[in-house]
Amino acid sequence: MLILNYHPAKIKNTMPICQYCSRKFTRQSTLNIHMCEPKRRWDQKDNKVHVLAFEIYKRFYEINYSNQKPKQFVDFVNSQYYRAFIKTSEFITNNTPIEIGAFIDWLCTSKIRIDSWPKQATIDQYIKHLVRTEGVPQALNRTILTMGQWAENENARLEDFFKYVNLNRVTQMIANGKISSWVLLNCETGKDMITIMHDDHIKIIHEMIDPAYWKRTFQKRDEDTDFVKATLREAGIE
């Protein structure tokens, strides 16, 4: 009688593996509830904070390393600076600095350490830079828009803004760059408002309305100054 030697094929025992961190598990159910840091990052991919953080990350490399291929999300989640970009995104989302695109570009070209990006002092530095370098139309439009929103909310006239706006509120508007010195210092109602501000208010906005700087600027850029004054007169802001 012929006896065949039969050796059944060995059944491969494949253990469930996390595709994000490569950790092995004895049961699929354990893998299903497993949450490692790489998986958490991928799961939050569509969160608005993470979307913005990824855009900032890409913009940083576009500006500073333009010869490299475009960054992908996988590069972002594996970056040693992932948390720093997330913190920056959270800070921007919570504080909403004016001209966010310009703020991001300014951060990416500044010499400021990335761990200092999400700080109020950084935004203050940016706003001071922006209001002194931006074009007059941009400054004028943003200021008129801010004044118009106040007038609508208060059921008041736009031209009465500097007469009746709350001083604490307007101090923050100026400090945040929403009210430009191009408007504030080129109309009598704006200059009159400054004279009734308290010392605490002036201390906050002093660098933004630096009289010596803006006097020189208005004289040097006399055509822009004339344009602003004419625009304000047309709007009834004297």
Domain match, 76 and 32 both: no
Angle (nearest 5°) at CA 135 between 95 and 162: 65
- Domain hosting 218: range is 135-234
Domain match, 34 and 107 both: no
Domain match, 124 and 155 both: no
Residue 212 domain flag:
yes
The pTM (predicted TM-score) of the whole model is 0.80
Secondary structure element (H or E) that encloses residue 147, with its range = helix 136-154
Domain match, 167 and 198 both: yes
Residue that the structure tokens 């040097």 belong to = 220
Residue 165 domain flag:
yes
Residue partners of 139: CB distance under 8 A and separation at least 6? 131, 180, 182, 183
Question: How many distinct structural domains can be found in the chain?
Answer: 3
- Extract the tokens encoding 66: 């333009």
Domain match, 106 and 117 both: yes
Show pLDDT as tens, one digit a residue, over the chain (238 residues). Answer: 444 554 555 445 578 888 878 888 888 888 888 888 888 889 899 999 999 999 999 999 999 998 999 999 999 999 999 999 999 999 999 988 889 999 999 999 998 999 999 999 999 999 999 999 999 999 999 999 999 999 999 999 999 999 999 999 999 999 999 999 999 999 999 999 999 999 999 999 999 999 999 999 999 999 999 999 999 999 899 8
Show which of 113, 130, 147 is a domain's final residue: 130
Residue 6 domain flag:
no
